Amino acid sequence: MSIEMKTNYGKIDVSKDVVAIIAGGAAIDCYGIVGMASQKQLKDGITELLGRENFSRGVVIRHGEEDDLHIDMYIIVSYGTKISEVAYNVQTKVKYQLEQMLGLQVDSVNIFVQGVRVTNS
């Protein structure tokens, strides 16, 4: 599946994987984020910390009716950070990056905090 954009010059199809990688890259750059978590392991109760090469695994892109675009992000935050502030920063940065890079209007960015990790910094 892909997201279709129409411009004056024609039609552009952007893969949902590309959107997920951009969103994951924007999220991992935010202060307080240790990494992305796999959303598929929620039923097992295990969170797996994913490396930098797996940005898109912790991101789910949902394309609703009337071209609504919703993004679900599964993250792991650093111990000692204010979770609400980290989540808000991720939401604003992801929306901004997708708007600047692809011209996409994101309707919602839902953050699911899957764990807290102590960092060695």
Dihedral sign from CA coordinates of 117, 118, 120, 121: positive
Bridge partners (DSSP) listed for residue 2: 15
Does pLDDT of 81 surpass 60?
yes
Give the C-alpha separation, 59 to 82, whole Å: 22
For residues 87-115, give the mean pLDDT: 93
DSSP letter string, 36-93: EE-GGGTTTT---EE-GGGGGGGEEEEE-GGG-EEEEEEEEEETTS-HHHHHHHHHHH
* Range name among 56-60, 85-89, 113-117 with the lowest pLDDT average: 56-60
Does pLDDT of 44 surpass 50?
no
| Per-residue pLDDT, 53 | 55
| Per-residue pLDDT, 36 | 85
Does pLDDT of 38 surpass 60?
yes
The predicted model scores a pTM of 0.82
For residues 78-104, give the mean pLDDT: 94
Does pLDDT of 117 surpass 80?
yes
Does pLDDT of 72 surpass 80?
yes
Task: Domains for the chain: give ranges and CATH numbers.
Answer: 2-117 (3.30.70.1350)
